[in-house]
Chains A and B, each alone.
Chain A
């Protein structure tokens, strides 16, 4: 038997030696009381440290520790917007969490990604000057046929003219469970609203109106069977709610 190295003696303390070697070290220590006492003291240290500090693991966690930081870095918001627009990679997931964390207070009751995605899509495209939509309202027939085909249902953008909002056009976006149609509306001052229509809602349930807010983007949303609808804008909650009611009435025959 080779004389155990100090590293092996340490591994003996921690029970990390292979069984055959452990037996050899056992017999080595059996005839060396001083060495045996030293190593036994080290084992006792392990036990005492665990006894002393293990209770910390059972203490309740301060909520400040379980929340993501309140203000994500600007690049993370951009990353969240981009990644959600192009599909989720790991970077996107991470950034998305932090953004969700920011809005946790308002969305806590609604874990669905629907209002979050709608708000991000709104934040990405509403400020767009040159390409706010893929197909303009001047080609409404084509727009409706195209988006209806992709979402697999007859889709008609609601008429919001009586409320002062005209259809600007629409675009197709990738969503959680399939394609998403985004319709954009604008009033005479250039204030924009977007209606996010997502197919493939897994829950197949119906909800009433719900409200969420991410930053200055307010969202009214509801789920009807496999379709999720979300109206987003930066106008007051009351105004947005009134328009959402009109949208809802027109979409539900």
Chain B
């Protein structure tokens, strides 16, 4: 019988990769992984042996992330001496920065980002993505399609179909 503890630990590097891409930032990604693992350990009894451990854990992370996005805490970044201080983007460089895939990714709606990352990074089947996020497969396909197109336009530096809010 496979050791559930081993299975859980074997998913850890993947969870970290996904969390980093999802949050775009190291310290909040580690917090998310930490919370996911704590919940995973404490609910290991609810995981059915033979079930898909990866889908189960990513589902836990999804729920935690959704809670977090819905009720955003003030964003903080841990600063140390090695942290470069970023200059505020000027209007011309802002457009250039969008060419960076990570910057563009952060501008996607969370629900599109999740689907895109589960498909692109985790290489989950659309069915697995639907099960992990608890949504219909048709919803997976439409979010994937819209997410990819938005990411493409952002990286081209073009205006995206739905207007972004401008903070003055």
Contacts and interface: CB of A to CB of B under 8 A. Distances in A.
Given A53-B121, A59-B16, A73-B42, A42 B101 contact: no
Interface in A31-62: 38, 41-42, 45-46, 48-50, 52-54, 56-59, 61-62
Nearest to B49: A90
A15 to B, nearest CB: 9
Nearest to A14: B119
A103 to B, nearest CB: 15
Interface string B42-77: 101101010000000000000000000000000000
Interface string A167-178: 000000000000
Contact of B151 (A45, A57, A65): A45
Contacts of A68: 5, 41
B133 interface: no
A91 interface: yes
A1 interface: no
Interface residues of A, number: 41
A65 B152 contact: no
Contacts of A58: 13
Given A64-B34, A65-B33, A54 B152 contact: no
A48 B121 CA distance: 10
A83 to B, nearest CB: 10
B25 interface: no
Q: Secondary structure at chain A's binding surface: helix, strand, loop or mixed?
A: helix
B110 interface: no
B144 interface: yes
A66 B144 contact: no
Contacts of A73: 42
Please classify how large the interface on chain B is, using the bins under 10, 10 to 19, 20 to 34, 35 or more: 35 or more
A54 B17 contact: yes
Contacts of B101: 45, 48-49, 52
B50 to A, nearest CB: 10
Given A7-B141, A94-B44, A98-B41, A61 B21 contact: no
B14 A57 contact: yes
Interface of B, secondary structure class, is helix
A87 interface: no
A158 interface: no
B98 interface: no
B105 to A, nearest CB: 7
A57 B21 CA distance: 12
A159 to B, nearest CB: 42
Given A6-B141, A7-B141, A48-B101, A94 B45 contact: yes
B83 to A, nearest CB: 18
A68 B8 CA distance: 10
A10 interface: yes
Contacts of B151: 45
A65 B12 contact: yes
A16 interface: yes
B42 A69 contact: yes
B4 interface: yes
A5 B156 CA distance: 25
6 contacts: A56-B21, A65-B16, A65-B34, A97-B41, A98-B44, A101-B41
Q: What are the 5 closest A-B residue pairs judged by CB atoms, nearest first? A: A57-B13, A94-B44, A94-B45, A56-B17, A46-B120
Interface of B: 4-5, 9, 12-14, 16-17, 20-21, 30, 33-34, 37-38, 41-42, 44-45, 47, 49, 101-102, 105, 116-117, 119-121, 123, 125-126, 138, 141, 144-145, 148-149, 151-152, 155
